Structure 1
Amino acid sequence: MELRNLRHFVALADERSFTRAAARELIVQSGLSTSVRALEKDVGARLFVRGTRPVRLTAAGEALLVEARRTLAAADAARQAVREVEGVLSGRLTVGTIESSGHTLPFTLWLAEFALAHPGVEIATIQRPALTMIEMVAGGEIDCALLPATPDAGLAVLPLVADPIVLACAPDHPLAGEPTVRLARLDGERFVDTPRGWVIRAQVDDAFRAAGLTRRIVCEVSDWLTVVDLVAAGVGVALIPEGLNLPRRPHLIPLADVHLERRLDVVYPAGAAASPATRRFVALLEQRRRANGS
């Protein structure tokens, strides 16, 4: 069983398209097909359901995918172990981020510092809902992610920042003159909110459910700037992280009777499961956090 065939198999499983997988692996589609067929011959089973769009794994393919990722990760770690003896960091680093990470932390500067210090590392970033990316880190699809960690993810966690969640409303909203607001005052209010799958959305939903309160979500959007613009326009109120660094800020009111906070953490595989590039990137973030007094 060749590592090259395993890599092509994983690319096709990830991309669900022969065209995209071939482009990712820098080969022609016929070469990718030949590689996958060779792997199927090695394992003695069909790995993909033929004729489906998008490409779909068989049960055998699903079973192989987990082990294929582990095998490729182990091979990368072995190669890197040799390179580290020579003092060179290389390989690939895929980092997941949520939309708001750049509004709270200087993530771009940190990523640039790492890229310049380690030019042999190929870096990619993706954006997905936080809960999805936690699963992707746990499954080995990405190396690490900046997001609010959940306590039961089974991953290593480096806390970066904790930010109180406050009420955002338009300046002419009836609550705008209040120094604080109790959660019960928001019962039945019209809300602008982020989609399900965002950790902050789940946290707010849980708080209202626990208090026996309801809220009307009249608009869902996937970025904080649009949230605050809609709030300022009077579409509804929102519960947002206080420290968002946005060009426009709505009127903010602290919550009086419940403490909610949005955390940003780095989640990554524990111990030796993390790649050398991941460990070095996390070490950089920890240094920057300490330098900022976090």
Structure 2
Amino acid sequence: MELRHLRHFIALAEERSFTRAAARELIVQSGLSSSVRALEKEVGALLFIRGTRPVRLTAEGEALLPAARHTLDAAAAAHQAVQEVHGVLSGRLRIGALQTIGHTLPFTTWLAEFSRAHPGVDIAVRQLPALRMLAMVTAGELDCALVTVVPDHTEGLDIVPLVAEPLVVACAPDHPLASAEVLTLDRLDGEQFVETHPEWAIRVLTDSAFRDAGLTRRIVCEVNEWTMVLDLVAAGVGIALVPQGLDFSLHPRPTGSLRLVPLAGVRLERRVDLVLPKGHAASPAARRFLDHVRRAGAPA
């Protein structure tokens, strides 16, 4: 059983698309298909239900997936054990990151420095909603993630705080709330909101804050990208709670098209933490990346 066949199988199981899985593995789609068929022939069972979108695992495929992940992890650990004798780090760093991580932390600088220090490590970055990334770190699908931690989703994970920033109210300049110097949460009761999807940490924080305060809001639009949130707010569709550290200059809209108003009377902030599996469950690359971030002196 070839490791590359297992790697291609895992990619297809996670991406649920031959096109995306082939792009992820940097091979042509026909090569991925051949690799998966070879594995199916070896194990004597179909692993995927073809002809459906998205591609789905068969019962045999579901059974193989955790064992395949364990096998690749064990192979990587064996290779790294030998390399560490010579002080060399190799393999792959699969890291998750928030869409807006570059506005808050020097993420690309960290990656560039880490890559120069460890040229034998291939880096794969995934930008996904917070809840999905936390689940992927727990499942071993990501080595670590820079993410906003959501309570009740951290079992088995080490949490390393990096930075915290308050949430502020974003609204159009002609919105009735735009003239306020500061706003309390109860002033937002009943307002129309533009929101991210429920898997996003900001959404979880906002939902929790309104629920705890006994307040309601009308979610008139849900989107999965920050630029769209800000564009809809600027257009007057609704208001939003956004991280204060978001670099609004990077988003192409006229100056003055958004008004940001601080919140008072409630501590509502987005923390960004580095999360990785506890102890020896963390990959050597993840542990070394954590060491690098600590040496770089992440803002507190």
TM-score class, shorter: 0.7 to 0.9
Rounded to whole Å, the distance in 2 between the matches of 1:122 and 1:235 is 42
Q: 2:200 aligns to what?
A: 198
Choose the corresponding residue for 2:178, options 169, 176, 179: 176
Tell whether 2:124 aligns with 1:124.
yes
Range with bigger deviation, 156-165 or 208-217: 208-217
CA RMSD of aligned residues (A): 2.4
SS of 2:297's equivalent? helix
The aligned runs of 1:130-149 (5 Å cut-off) are 130-149=130-149
2:97 and 2:128 in contact (8 A); partners too: yes
Output one character per residue of 1:103-139: Cα deviation in whole Å (capped at 9) or x when no partner: 1111111111111111111111111111111111111
Q: 2:252 aligns to what?
A: none
Q: 1:112 aligns to what?
A: 112
Rounded to whole Å, the distance in 1 between the matches of 2:12 and 2:197 is 29
Rounded to whole Å, the distance in 2 between the matches of 1:261 and 1:170 is 22
The aligned runs of 1:52-131 (5 Å cut-off) are 52-131=52-131
Rounded to whole Å, the distance in 1 between the matches of 2:52 and 2:168 is 47
Rounded to whole Å, the distance in 1 between the matches of 2:131 and 2:268 is 18
SS of 2:151's equivalent? coil
Rounded to whole Å, the distance in 2 between the matches of 1:22 and 1:169 is 42
Give the paired residue count.
289
Q: 1:267 aligns to what?
A: 275
Range with bigger deviation, 71-80 or 210-219: 210-219
Q: Which amino acid aligns with 1:32?
A: S
Return structure 1 stretches of 4+ with deviation > 4 angstroms.
17-23, 50-53
5+ long unaligned stretches in structure 2 = 250-254
- TM-score, normalised to structure 2, is 0.86
Choose the corresponding residue for 1:280, options 277, 283, 288: 288
Rounded to whole Å, the distance in 2 between the matches of 1:189 and 1:20 is 39
1:190 and 1:218 in contact (8 A); partners too: yes
Going from structure 1 to structure 2, the CA distance change for 1:11 and 1:177 (only over 3 Å counts) comes to closer
Output one character per residue of 1:163-186: Cα deviation in whole Å (capped at 9) or x when no partner: 111212233333233332221211
Tell whether 2:291 aligns with 1:289.
no
Q: Which amino acid aligns with 1:163?
A: E
Output one character per residue of 1:142-199: Cα deviation in whole Å (capped at 9) or x when no partner: 2111110123322111111111112122333332333322212111112222222111
* Percent identical residues: 60
SS of 1:243's equivalent? coil
Q: 2:40 aligns to what?
A: 37
Rounded to whole Å, the distance in 1 between the matches of 2:278 and 2:192 is 42
Measured after TM superposition, the shift of residue 51 of structure 1 is 5.0
1:225 and 1:246 in contact (8 A); partners too: no
Measured after TM superposition, the shift of residue 29 of structure 1 is 4.7
Tell whether 2:59 aligns with 1:49.
no
Tell whether 2:251 aligns with 1:251.
no
- TM-score, normalised to structure 1, is 0.88
5+ long unaligned stretches in structure 1 = none
Q: 2:9 aligns to what?
A: 9
Q: 1:217 aligns to what?
A: 219
Q: Which amino acid aligns with 1:285?
A: V
Rounded to whole Å, the distance in 2 between the matches of 1:235 and 1:278 is 41
1:188 and 1:215 in contact (8 A); partners too: yes
Choose the corresponding residue for 1:236, options 235, 238, 261: 238
